[in-house]
Chains A and B, each alone.
Chain A
């Protein structure tokens, strides 16, 4: 069965420093997608970054980058130059199936709560 694991329930980082949030996944599919979402205290789910399993380059979106190590089945999120507004819950997710007519349903990890200290 496909599974996402985030082993860090909570993390602290100093403002302006970089931080890495860990995510490992388990799947027997050759083709899959990995996502990171941010959930601030207000509760909404905000898409951050996406990595396809066949993408040769690691995905980047502004201060966010995804450290994709396919052989190790890890998809860690790196946030550079942390800001106070980065304090939130972060979820790693995997697209569960590549069967087209089953849509893009995601399975989520348990989340990591990041706190940025001034």
Chain B
């Protein structure tokens, strides 16, 4: 099993550009999450989904949008990237309230 796969692994954007991060899981998990990791701040929840077709805001949702059209995929979009969105992004999934399984992360730099 691949587990949780994130693409791309690295990306550099210019301010104002848009992009989509893709997360795919093959464990048939209902719940999926997007976190960002910044130095000294741990991981902070951006958006999450409790099932296909559902999304909800987390702690730091501004500037991001998400979609979950298929159960196995959770997309994170940046419509107009800002330097403050330079971060490492992690996708995760879980079966109910059990431990989260994380992807390997995406390093995003916004210049």
B residues near A104, Cβ cutoff 8 Å: 31, 94, 96-100
- Give the secondary structure class of A's interface: mixed
A residues near B101, Cβ cutoff 8 Å: 47
A residues near B44, Cβ cutoff 8 Å: 108
B residues near A43, Cβ cutoff 8 Å: 88, 104-105
Shortest A49–chain B CB gap in Å is 10
Given contacts A35-B99, A103-B94, contact A108 B43 (CB under 8 A): yes
Q: Using a CB–CB distance below 8 Å, which chain B residues touch chain A?
A: 30-31, 33, 35, 40-45, 48, 50, 56, 58-59, 88, 90, 92, 94, 96-102, 104-105
Q: Using a CB–CB distance below 8 Å, which chain A residues touch chain B?
A: 4, 6, 9, 33, 35, 37, 43-45, 47, 50, 91, 93, 95, 98, 100-111
Query: Which of A50, A95, A98 has its CB near the most chain B CB atoms (within 10 A)?
Result: A95
A residues near B41, Cβ cutoff 8 Å: 110
A residues near B99, Cβ cutoff 8 Å: 35, 47, 50, 104
CA distance A43 to B103 in the complex (A): 10
CA distance A51 to B105 in the complex (A): 26
CA distance A104 to B59 in the complex (A): 14
Shortest A90–chain B CB gap in Å is 11
State the 8 A-B residue pairs at the shortest beta-carbon distance, nearest first: A103-B31, A45-B102, A108-B42, A104-B97, A108-B43, A104-B94, A47-B99, A110-B42
